[in-house]
Chain A
Amino acid sequence: MSLIGAKVLRKEDPNLVTGRGSFVDDLRPDRCLTMAFVPSTEAHARVRSVDASEAAALPGVAAVWTAADVAHLPPCPGLPGLERPLLASDVVRFVGEPVAVVVAEDRYLAADAVAAVVVDYEPLPAVVGVQAALAADAPALFPALGGNLVFEQPWESDLADVFAAAPRTASLHIVNNRCAPTPIEPNACLADWGPSGLTLWAAFQAPHHLRNKLAEFFGIAHDETRVIAPDVGGGFGAKINLVPELYLAPALSRALGRPVKYVQTRSECLQAMYHGRAQEQDVDVAFDDDGRLLGLRFMVTQDNGGYPDPGGMGLPALTTAMATGCYKVPRVAVGWRNVVTNTTPVASYRGAGRPEATFMIERVVDLVADETGLDPLEVRRRNFIQPDEFPYATSSPLAVYDSGNYPGALDELLRILDYDAVRQEQRRNLDDDTKPLIGVGFSTWVEIAGFGPPGSLEAFGHLGSWESAQIRVQPDGSAIVYTGASPHGQGTETTFAQIAADNLGIPFERISVRHGDTATVLQGIGTMGSRCTAIAGEGVRAAATTVLGRAKEIAAHLLEADPADLQAEDGAFTVRGTPARSVSWNDVAWASFRPLDLPEGMTPGSLETSVFQQVANFSFPSGAYACVVEVDRHTGRVGVRGFYLVDDCGTVINPLLAEGQVQGGIAQGIAQALFEEVSYDPQGALLTSTLMDYLVPAAPDLPGFVSSRICTPTPNSVLGAKGIGESGSIGSPPAVVNAVVDALAHLGVRHVDMPVTPQKVWRLLEGAR
């Protein structure tokens, strides 16, 4: 029986439900020291002096370093001339930027030392928000830049002809709110630099990538640099950023000759772990009276925070690549600007550039529906790319859609959602002051996933865009799969064992999946960009197929049969049609190490192989979501009454885990839409520095889910899996906001920015009175 597509329980869970997980902070080598930062309290200031003398003299303090102590080290990797220093030297550029670092015997003594460091700042005018940053008289973060605009990609054309000729046009200004990724485990690392080299345990999504960067940074060899990502408590794209602690902990460990551990507090995490989203968008759409899209003009202004992170710089490229969603738009013009401001740097957060695109285009089609008086679903249907039009080349060279069935997903959504009943209730409630306003919103979305085509990750500083897979059959017939993917909650140990079991014929229970250690895993890129199953999983399939072919040769030799006549299942090789002629996988594995048992020409150790899996194109998961909200017309509170979802991620390896990915992603999407926003005051002080103020929702704040799926496999791989990790957070925010706007549409409301807070809705309600 095939395990691909089965709801297999996770191999990961027994450790994690018994407290036997092994997260970075759980590790404590002998003589381990604790590192803590002195964070800047200013958003923009000249650092006049740092007095560490009192702190350094405190009991249990091993070292206090300021910028001068790391002057011999390079800065964090970044844009030439705009790199982030390990410790701020002359100027601080956001609240929370480390000014000094202390190392002490434990976290209590480290905290005391941090409190004893005295920093003298000369405040400079701060720049908060992209509008302020681009103002003519704005103070410049980097004087050499001559302003705060780091990069500009202008429109190729302003589409003046399209807009002049179009029967109708509409425009929207969108603020895609800044979010804090907020994995429940913050950033953490533990460095132990001994005579045999550097070992760094890190809560990280791409250990080999980090290994490469550390070796380059310190000028040491890859073979003496080991990075281990143990259990990692969530990442959501934020644990791939090359932040100072990843270099400082090793540098301090080397200098002090002792292990050094750094674990961020939540407050530090909210101010220093790179944020996501933070775009302002201007969009113009041209369309006809039938709701057909004729042209789209789209400009993104990306807030990159205090230092332009290479990943963060690339976000608008992804946003603009996906600007047209699942619709046919004949003429498109996109452009973007990258801007620095005195705020936390911005980089990838679950979806990384695509949620911003989906939010825009899904708001735009609703706007077209509103303007034309058509049902929003009808507008969508009239503009959908049709199932027979794939591969579909969009106006973006990045986005040649591999496969999809957008009308099919919408049909399935309307099977699980009683659309008419919602509309009827909406009408009934409208004039009853005691009842909430009802709204229903849709999002028929497509995203770009499976980051693996050559060049796609190299652009962000990675070694390659492939992923490695290695299978080693053990002498007893069990097997170990090594993957370069580095999971942090995805359940890869389970899904890859499913793929391997199916393709090897070895029972699932006799397969282990290892990851996250550069000393044992061949090479790797990492888990990000919804690439794990699509690329690394395909690599596991390919490696298993190769190993199985060799095993069949050995089995055939032992059975004196033709390899082509053998089938492998449930741990044995059997001659088709002659069940009595059978040899166990265990015997074949054993024989594979014994030259006398091998067929001619085969050498011992043949049942292991490595694959560097590449794919030619991205994959494009899609789906159709609906959100039903009720709006308290007196308080403005929005309650999500139901969330309906249909996903198409191609082949599903484990429906239980795929559903978990989708629901978790949608929870983050609803959180962005209704709850979460990183807020600064005009001077750049962070107002959301604890989980009291940054509102990550809990169980009573979120709805249950009604789910279904359709399956359009990707032609990119044999496996056919497209990726699922980011779908929920990409597809869901516009469904929520479209529902709110739908609930308020009778009042003339056409748009509301996220997060849709009760106060914001109240103002809209007041404005309409």
Chain B
Amino acid sequence: MNRIPVRVTVNGEPTEHDVEPRLLLVHHLRETLRLTGTHVGCDTSNCGACTVLLDGEPVKSCTVLAVQADGHQVTTVEGLAAGDGRLTAVQEGFRREHGLQCGYCTPGMIMAATGLLAAEPDPPEHRIREALEGNLCRCTGYQMIVNAVRWAAAHAGETFDVATGPRQAEGAA
């Protein structure tokens, strides 16, 4: 079986492995590198659970061969929080605005939203909805995800302590 060397910088760390050409990037991340935060939710590029950033752009890692990522940069949800574990505004926004329930689509949503805000720092609601059109969530009905992204836009650049964050949502009774 022919195996191809693949060098990918993942979350800032260089990696190198020989892989089968047919290995999908999502399986390379999950199985080879054991970064299991990126999930698989379909086989037809519809659900977006596998979204990661490839050279800064959100892509569906189930529709990219690992060999295609050779020489490129990949960021997964594990690579968002800084080394000190502080959350990005997008991660914190999902928490504050209850933008997740079961959490399975969440890493993909967060990566898609991160890609959006990098390109468009203050998107209106309809743009957020459009930008997330390739990500399916079965739990939330999306309104709270939209709220989460708006929250993140309003707190761009800030980081948040995961352990001692606020207990209650803003404006809580």
Contact = CB atoms under 8 A, between A and B. Distances in A.
Q: Consider the complex of A and B and state whether they touch directly, i.e. have CB atoms less than 8 Å apart.
A: yes
B31 A106 contact: yes
Given A18-B77, A660-B144, A185 B39 contact: yes
Interface string A7-20: 11110111111111
Contacts of B43: 265-267, 690
B103 A266 contact: no
Contact of B167 (A9, A12, A236, A668): A9
Interface string B149-173: 0000000000000110111110111
A186 B40 CA distance: 9
Nearest to A705: B143
Interface string B101-137: 1111111001000000000000001101110111111
A357 to B, nearest CB: 22
Interface stretch (A21-29, A36-44, A278-286, A605-613): A21-29
Interface string B48-81: 0100000000000000000000000000111011
Given A9-B166, A18-B162, A489 B44 contact: no
A158 interface: no
Contacts of B96: 9
B32 to A, nearest CB: 11
Of A183, A488, A699, A702, most B-chain CB atoms within 10 Å: A699
Contact of A691 (B23, B46, B172): B46
B133 A698 contact: yes
A556 interface: no
Nearest to B111: A19
Interface stretch (A61-69, A226-234, A404-412): A226-234
B22 A108 contact: yes
Interface in A537-561: none
Contacts of A700: 126, 129-130, 132-133
B95 A17 contact: yes
Given A184-B104, A509-B167, A13 B133 contact: no
A234 B42 contact: no
Contact of A664 (B22, B138, B162): B138
Contacts of B37: 18-21
B146 interface: yes
A624 to B, nearest CB: 18
A687 interface: no
B144 A663 contact: yes
Contacts of B139: 234, 489, 660, 664
A690 B20 contact: no
B1 to A, nearest CB: 9
B167 A691 contact: no
Contacts of A10: 95, 98
A728 B101 CA distance: 15
Interface in A602-661: 655-657, 659-661
A629 B43 CA distance: 33
Interface residues of B, number: 72
A668 B168 contact: no
B39 A266 contact: no
Contact of A184 (B35, B47, B130): B47
A413 interface: no
B140 interface: yes
A491 interface: yes
Nearest to A690: B44
Contacts of B163: 14
A14 B34 CA distance: 19
B82 to A, nearest CB: 11
Nearest to A12: B103
> In the complex, which of the residues A13, A26, A657 has the most CB atoms of chain B within 10 Å of its own CB atom?
A13
Contacts of B140: 660, 663-664, 667
Nearest to A183: B138
A6 interface: yes
A16 B100 contact: yes
Interface string A169-202: 0000000000000111110000000000000000
A28 B91 CA distance: 26
A108 B30 CA distance: 14
Contacts of A184: 39, 41, 47, 49, 102, 104-105, 136-138
Nearest to A670: B141
A668 to B, nearest CB: 7
Contacts of A696: 46-47, 136, 138
A704 B143 contact: yes
A182 B138 CA distance: 7
Interface in A449-492: 488-491
A8 B168 contact: yes
Select the residue from B40, B106, B138, B146 with max chain A CB neighbours within 10 A.
Answer: B138
A692 interface: yes
A19 B168 contact: no
A748 B136 CA distance: 37
Contacts of B110: 17
Nearest to A350: B138
A663 B107 CA distance: 20
A489 B102 CA distance: 3
A654 to B, nearest CB: 9
B46 A491 contact: no
A266 B104 contact: no
A183 B113 CA distance: 21
B76 A19 contact: yes
A251 B91 CA distance: 41
A26 B30 CA distance: 8
A9 B145 CA distance: 15
Pick from A698, A700, A728 the residue with the most CB of B within 10 Å: A698
B36 interface: yes
A573 interface: no
Given A19-B37, A108-B23, A696-B136, A13 B141 contact: no
A18 B87 contact: yes
Nearest to A107: B27
A8 B172 CA distance: 8
B101 A19 contact: no
A231 B38 CA distance: 14
A185 B40 CA distance: 8
Given A19-B76, A183-B138, A699-B145, A656 B106 contact: no
Given A660-B98, A699-B133, A18 B143 contact: no
A378 B97 CA distance: 38
A668 B138 contact: yes
Contact of B91 (A9, A18, A665, A699): A18
Contacts of B137: 184, 699
A78 interface: no
Contacts of B31: 28, 106
Contacts of B34: 28
B102 A691 contact: no
Contacts of B173: 5-7, 655
A692 B134 CA distance: 11
Given A231-B102, A690-B43, 6 more contacts: A8-B172, A9-B98, A28-B34, A267-B43, A691-B46, A696-B46
11 contacts: A6-B172, A13-B103, A108-B27, A184-B104, A185-B41, A185-B102, A233-B103, A265-B43, A667-B140, A690-B42, A700-B132
Interface of B: 20, 22-23, 27, 30-31, 34-44, 46-47, 49, 76-78, 80-81, 85, 87, 91-92, 94-96, 98, 100-107, 110, 125-126, 128-130, 132-146, 162-163, 165-169, 171-173
Interface of A: 5-10, 12-21, 23, 25-26, 28, 106-108, 182-186, 231-234, 236, 265-267, 488-491, 508-509, 655-657, 659-661, 663-668, 690-692, 696, 698-700, 702, 704-705, 728
The 10 closest A-B CB pairs, nearest first, are A19-B37, A233-B104, A16-B103, A489-B102, A667-B141, A489-B101, A691-B46, A26-B36, A663-B141, A19-B77
